[in-house]
Amino acid sequence: MIADMGCTTECQYCFVLRPNRSLSWRQTVMVFASFCIITLALVLPLVAMGFWLVLPFAGLELLAVGTGFYLVARHCHEREVICIAADTIRIERGRRKPEQSLTLTRTWARVVLKACPRQWYPSRLLIRVHGQTVEVGRFLVEEERRQLAEDLNRCLCVNP
């Protein structure tokens, strides 16, 4: 999903990209808690009766469930912020706060939407400056990626 933030004090144009997600972090925790409660409610009576070998398997399973949900939630909370200023393009990646940042020179920047030679794979949106290439919007759907490429091109063509 793309949120076009328009102008800010620092950026002429700012795009915030994030993957689609239908479960908030709080809901993720609640779903995981429900798994824990249900599983332990089934398993603990058996453990109390002496069949304790069920417990390590339940623990392992809940660990797998928790890890799976955490990884998905982590991915779903990814953000990419593309800030186009007068002379630079700053690309920030992170979740709650920027964790990676890269600044490119705006003057020589080119936006390339590269189709995969085999049609069943998605295209790649690249920003190229002096042989350096940065991919953005990997988690967007095809239409959004195309739209973003057009918007970036339009913004870069406007004189600072």
Partner 1 sequence: MSTAAPTHDHGHDHEHHGPAPGLSRWIFTTNHKDIGTLYLLFSLLMFFVGGAMALVIRAELFQPGLQIVDPHFFNQMTTMHALVMIFGAVMPAFVGLANWLIPMMIGAPDMALPRMNNWSFWIMPFAFTLLLSTLFTAGGGPAGGWTLYPPLVLQTGEAFPFVILAVHMMGASSIMGAINIVATILNLRAPTMTLMKMPLFVWTWLITAFLLIAVMPVLAGAVTMLLTDKYFGTSFFNAAGGGDPVMFQHIFWFFGHPEVYIMILPAFGVVSMIIPTFARKPLFGYASMVYATASIAFLSFIVWAHHMFTVGMPLAGELFFMYATMLIAVPTGVKVFNWVSTMWRGSMTFETPMLFAIAFVVLFTIGGFSGLMLAIAPADFQYQDTYFVVAHFHYVLVPGAVFSIMAAAYYWLPKWTGHMYNEKLGQWHFWLSVIGVNVLFFPQHFLGLAGMPRRIPDYALQFTEFNMISTVGAFIFGLSQLLFAYNVIQTIRGGAKATDQVWEGAKGLEWTLSSPPPYHTFQTAPRVD
**Nearest-approach distance from CB 57 to partner 1, in angstroms:** 4
Which parts of this chain interact with partner 1 (CB under 8 A)?
1, 20-23, 27-28, 31, 35, 38-39, 42-43, 46, 49-51, 53-58, 60-61, 64-65, 68-69, 71-73, 76, 91, 93-94, 97-102, 104, 114, 116-122, 124, 126, 128, 131-135, 141-144
Answer yes or no: are the C-beta atoms of 62 and 39 closer than 8 Å. yes
Taking the C-alpha atoms of 145, 147, 149 and 155 in order, what is their torsion angle to the nearest 10 degrees? -140
Decide whether 14 or 140 has the Cβ nearer to partner 1: 140
Count Cβ atoms below 10 Å from residue 114 Cβ, excluding itself.
12
Cα separation, 77 vs 139, whole angstroms: 11
Taking the C-alpha atoms of 24, 19, 121 and 69 in order, what is their torsion angle to the nearest 10 degrees? -30
What's 97's DSSP letter? Answer: S
Decide whether 131 or 157 has the Cβ nearer to partner 1: 131
Q: Tokens 């429900």 appear where?
A: 34
**Nearest-approach distance from CB 77 to partner 1, in angstroms:** 11
**Nearest-approach distance from CB 125 to partner 1, in angstroms:** 12
Decide whether 7 or 135 has the Cβ nearer to partner 1: 135
**Nearest-approach distance from CB 116 to partner 1, in angstroms:** 5
